[in-house]
Structure 1
Amino acid sequence: MSTHPPDSTERSRTFGPSALLTPANVITVVRLLLAPVAFVLIYEQQSGWLLFGLWIAITASDSLDGYLARRQGTTRSGAFLDPLADKVLALGGLWAMVLAGRFWWLPVVLITVREALISAFRSYWGRKGLAVPASNVAKFKTFLQFSSVSLVVWPWTTGYTWMADTVLWLAVAVAWISAAQYIQAGSRSTTTMDPG
């Protein structure tokens, strides 16, 4: 009979898949609660150190809740809340910039359509029991979206509109590249599951 003690990774996983009140989930919920505050500040102020600090905190903390989830155990609630928080922050921040007159509406519409399309595919494949994980390209897409807003709210770069616009259009390109990759990966997996 084996008496080997669990390794450090197993010991550190303190939460099961059904857990709700985990440190990672708390951080994600706080990000969601602070999101409307950031959107209002973006619309009213567009730039400022308080806004910049808040925006960096609620976007960069995505890495912290991801680390905690991997360290303490991933949960089904976290798998739903974390990408939701990213989408709310990214799209909300971009549309707040449009309403404030800092971003052109076209690239933001293209990003929004992409997110709606992939959400529809994700829902469709989810009903088939298929989960397609986010690629590194998709994660880079989210980083670019956050960065485009950061370049406007940061007082040192707010006057250089070409910088934010360039990053925003780059985010559009990467968003649709990742969408094509996602659809291709999901279609291949669906074909493997149901060749007929």
Structure 2
Amino acid sequence: MSSVDTYAWADLRLPANLITLGRIVLSPLLFVLILASSDSGGTSWAALVVGWVLGASDYYDGWMARTSGSVSRWGAFLDPLADKVMILGACWCFVFTQRLSWIPVLIITVRELLVSIARTRWARQGLSLPARRSAKLKTLMQGVALTVAVLPPLETVDWAVLLAIWLAVAITVYSGWRYFADGRLGAVAS
């Protein structure tokens, strides 16, 4: 069996997986920086830089795993987990600072939970659904929305934050619908 088929503990030490673990461990720093800037709605240059570093590491760890041939089951599990920790944590911090409304953040949260539960169930049935382009676009748009929310020059530009978060919600819901459609079709085909 290849390491893509099993959870080999040694795979946790692969460089790409260490970067992903680092993203999970460093995400609370982003949350603290957003919350520490609550007087400005969470806008912060420091949070912007940390968020971009975490976002860049998301791209880099995947690229590293693919180009080095070190794709692993741990990486396939940890990478979306790291995305959810960072995105959802930052979103809820912005709700706390009143930069974002809880409604779009709750929609994003529910979608992420439902898709995660469904993917786990499908995996137990032997059905693997690779990330679609719409899911990658969803993660990108969520990152753009958080960038708009955290950017100090946009502190008083509420329409830009509203537009960005609702676009992210639309793409998030669409990509979730695609996962469920694919899962249903895959379950019927198997």
- TM-score, scaled to structure 1: 0.87
Deviation at 1:16, TM superposition (A): 5.0
Q: Which runs of 5+ in 2 are unaligned?
A: none
1:112 corresponds, among 86, 109, 112, to 109
Whether 2:127 is the aligned partner of 1:130: answer yes
**1:23 corresponds to which residue?**
15
Taking only the aligned residue pairs, the percentage that are identical comes to 40
For residues 128-160 of structure 1, what are the alpha-carbon distances to aligned partners after superposition, in whole Å with 9 as ceiling and x for unaligned?
011111111111111111111111222232332
**2:28 corresponds to which residue?**
36
Whether 2:59 is the aligned partner of 1:63: answer yes
State the distance in 1 between where 2:133 and 2:33 align: 30
In the TM superposition, 1:40-189 aligns within 5 A as 40-45=32-37, 46-72=42-68, 73-189=70-186
**1:3 corresponds to which residue?**
none
State the distance in 2 between where 1:98 and 1:28 align: 26
State the distance in 1 between where 2:170 and 2:26 align: 28
Letter of the 2:174 partner, please give it: I
- TM-score, scaled to structure 2: 0.90
The runs of at least 4 aligned residues of structure 1 exceeding 4 Å deviation read: none
Aligned length: 179
RMSD of Structure 2 on Structure 1 (CA): 1.4
Q: Which runs of 5+ in 1 are unaligned?
A: 1-14
For residues 29-55 of structure 1, what are the alpha-carbon distances to aligned partners after superposition, in whole Å with 9 as ceiling and x for unaligned?
111111011111111211222221111
Q: Give the number of the structure whose alpha-carbon radius of gyration is greater.
A: 1
For residues 140-192 of structure 1, what are the alpha-carbon distances to aligned partners after superposition, in whole Å with 9 as ceiling and x for unaligned?
11111111111122223233221121111011111111111111111111111
**1:9 corresponds to which residue?**
none
Deviation at 1:68, TM superposition (A): 0.3
Letter of the 1:61 partner, please give it: S
User: Conserved in 2, the CA contact under 8 Å of 1:44 and 1:100?
Assistant: no
User: Conserved in 1, the CA contact under 8 Å of 2:3 and 2:73?
Assistant: no
State the distance in 2 between where 1:67 and 1:167 align: 27
Letter of the 1:27 partner, please give it: I
Structure showing the higher helix proportion among its residues: 2
